């Protein structure tokens, strides 16, 4: 297929299903659409978002391994243009656009900033953080136990899955106790951030979200100016980093790095945990298997990252005219790499729809990306997923979904997970075996 020179107006496109990337129907079950895209239009132009949708594993890997051709400069721009009221609110807070930091940086400052973050999330640092992760997990599961004893049910997605990653990231960033915002407030801020920039919202909703994002930005700006952060924290590391010209990290760049990590460290990890717990509870007998063998939690986490990564898709932009998957792309073509589709590509994985904790492919999936922009916090997220899943299954072996209805899923271009996950405990022997929910593809 050939295209015009315009990055947003191709002359033709392969036949493909009608797609609404923001719909609940697509969010709840995107797999049939992915399968049809891979078969009929693996590089497909979506006129609604003006994005080229890339759905095959091999093509996505090619893009990720050619960062000079496929740059990440557009990764943090809003998918839907922001309206004037929202822009004014952000401008008053000093937040116009996030400067290049980690996820939107193809320049020479990226290795310097990434290096500081990689040291913070090194294997050694993650091992050292394990007791902290375990402590926070057990504290949150204590609160969940109280709720179950009192009311008989609990929302796992809004409880442990949402709160644990926020608390862990506040520790890893080195935010002093007296400077910490309420856990729920921080979670609300990061949720507002992704909804504003990756959702389809009207003017009034944008204004509401912008007010929260502005508060988030002000809070991060105050943190970036503090001088009492521990040396082994991100804020402490950024204070010591020097840019390529020898200058200190500008405050707005420090804020951008912190916002990148707070959003990634909370949102994607929270959503990974929610999805992993949902699929384990949905699958006949799997939750009890995890309770009996905690060692399965690591494999279950990896399979969740492969099959249903919370970062479902990410953007790139071409720096020159190129060909991808047999499709000619002009310079400036904006691309959406569909990681969930890659993880369910039958050309890359045997029985890709099946969740198999013992799968030989192991960590070879794209749940954390690939190449120079691979997620630097991947090991910490893995630890959190493994710890929470194994601890929750051991603590509540009789946990089950409170309803057979499929939970609502987040309707954003790049993020997907259950937004609510009501759970309860088995009340009788007849309720003791977890059921397979309608439409389940897990074993």
Q: What is the CATH number of the domain that holds 165?
A: 1.10.630.10
User: What pLDDT is stored for residue 428 in this prediction?
Assistant: 40
Q: Environment class of residue 5 by beta-carbon count within 10 Å: exposed (0-12), middle (13-18) or buried (19+)?
A: exposed
Return the H-helix or E-strand segment holding 51.
Answer: strand 51-54
Q: Among candidates 150, 134, 171, 167, which has minimal Cα distance to 392?
A: 134
Is position 278 within any domain?
yes
SS3 30: coil
Phi-psi region of 84 (alpha: psi -120 to 50; beta: other; left: phi over 0): alpha
Cα distance between residue 417 and residue 267, in whole Å: 10
Neighbours of 49 (CB within 10 A): 20
In a domain, 354, yes or no: yes
For residue 224, what pLDDT is reported? 83
- The answer to whether residue 147 sits within a structural domain is yes
261 in Cβ contact with 234 (< 8 Å)? yes
pTM reported for the whole predicted model: 0.90
Residue 438 tokens, joined = 């309608």
For residue 405, what are its two tokens? 């209805």
Q: Which residues pair with 248 in a beta bridge?
A: 242
pLDDT (tens, 9 = 90+) of the chain, 443 residues, equals 333 333 444 544 445 557 899 999 999 999 999 999 999 999 999 999 999 999 999 999 999 999 999 999 999 999 999 999 999 999 999 987 889 999 999 999 999 999 999 988 999 999 999 999 999 999 999 999 999 999 999 999 999 999 999 999 999 888 888 888 899 999 999 999 999 999 999 999 999 999 999 999 999 999 888 878 787 788 888 888 999 999 999 999 999 999 999 988 999 999 999 999 999 999 889 999 999 999 999 999 999 999 999 899 999 999 999 999 999 999 999 999 999 999 999 999 999 999 999 888 778 999 999 999 999 999 999 999 999 999 999 999 999 999 999 999 999 999 999 999 999 998 643 333 333 333 333 33
Q: Is residue 372 part of a domain?
A: yes
User: 331 by DSSP, 3-state: which?
Assistant: coil
Separation between Cα atoms, residue 247 and residue 267, nearest integer Å: 32
Number of folded domains in the chain?
1
The whole domain housing 105 covers 24-431
Distance of alpha carbon 173 from alpha carbon 135, whole angstroms: 17
Is position 286 within any domain? yes
Could you tell me which residues are beta bridge partners of residue 328? 323
Compute how many other C-beta atoms are within 10 angstroms of the C-beta atom of residue 222: 11
Counting Cβ atoms within 10 Å, is residue 436 exposed (0-12), middle (13-18) or buried (19+)? Answer: middle
| Biggest distance spanned by C-alpha atoms of the chain | 68
Domain assignment present for 19: no
Residue 436 covered by a domain: no
Whether residue 416 contacts residue 27, with contact meaning beta carbons closer than 8 Å, is answered with: yes
CB 191 within 8 A of CB 267: yes
pLDDT of res. 333? 98
Angle at alpha carbon of residue 203, lines to 202 and 205, rounded to 5° = 70
Evaluate whether residue 440 is within a structural domain: no
């Amino acid at each position: 297929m050939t295209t015009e020179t315009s990055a947003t107006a191709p002359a033709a496109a392969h036949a493909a299903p009608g797609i609404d990337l923001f719909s609940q129907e697509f969010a709840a079950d995107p797999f049939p659409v992915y399968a049809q895209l891979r078969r009929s239009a693996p590089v497909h132009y979506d006129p609604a978002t003006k994005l080229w949708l890339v759905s095959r594993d091999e093509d996505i890997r090619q893009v990720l391994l050619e960062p000079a051709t496929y740059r990440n400069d557009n990764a943090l721009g809003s998918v839907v243009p922001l309206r004037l009221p929202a822009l004014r609110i952000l401008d008053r807070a000093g937040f116009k656009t996030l400067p290049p930091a980690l996820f939107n940086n193809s320049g020479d400052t990226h290795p310097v900033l990434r290096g500081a973050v990689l040291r913070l999330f090194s294997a050694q640092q993650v091992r050292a953080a394990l007791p902290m992760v375990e402590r926070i997990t057990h504290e949150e599961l204590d609160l969940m136990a109280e709720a179950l004893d009192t009311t008989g049910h609990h929302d796992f997605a809004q409880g442990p899955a949402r709160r644990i990653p926020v608390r862990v990231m506040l520790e890893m960033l080195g935010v002093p106790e007296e400077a910490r915002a309420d856990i729920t407030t921080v979670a609300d801020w990061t949720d507002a951030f992704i909804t504003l920039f990756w959702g389809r919202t009207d003017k009034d909703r944008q204004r509401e979200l912008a007010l929260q994002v502005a508060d988030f930005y002000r809070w991060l700006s105050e943190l970036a100016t503090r001088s009492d952060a521990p040396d082994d924290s991100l804020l402490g590391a950024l204070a010591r980093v020097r840019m390529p010209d020898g200058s200190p990290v500008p405050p707005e760049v420090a804020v951008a790095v912190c916002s990148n990590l707070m959003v990634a460290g909370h949102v994607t990890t929270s959503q990974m945990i929610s999805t992993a717990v949902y699929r384990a509870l949905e699958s006949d007998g799997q939750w009890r298997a995890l309770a009996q063998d905690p060692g399965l939690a690591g494999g279950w986490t990896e399979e969740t990252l492969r099959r249903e990564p919370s970062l479902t898709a990410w953007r790139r932009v071409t720096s020159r005219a190129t060909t991808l998957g047999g499709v000619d792309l002009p310079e400036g073509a904006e691309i959406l790499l569909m990681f969930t589709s890659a993880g369910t590509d039958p050309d890359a994985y045997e029985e890709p729809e099946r969740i198999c904790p013992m799968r030989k492919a192991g960590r070879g999936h794209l749940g954390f990306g690939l190449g120079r922009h691979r997620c630097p916090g991947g090991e910490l997220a893995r630890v959190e997923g493994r710890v929470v899943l194994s601890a929750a299954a051991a603590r509540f072996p009789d946990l089950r979904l409170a309803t057979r209805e499929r939970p609502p899923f987040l309707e954003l271009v790049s993020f997907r997970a259950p937004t609510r996950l009501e759970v309860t405990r088995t009340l009788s022997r007849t309720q003791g075996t977890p059921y397979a929910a309608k439409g389940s593809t897990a074993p």
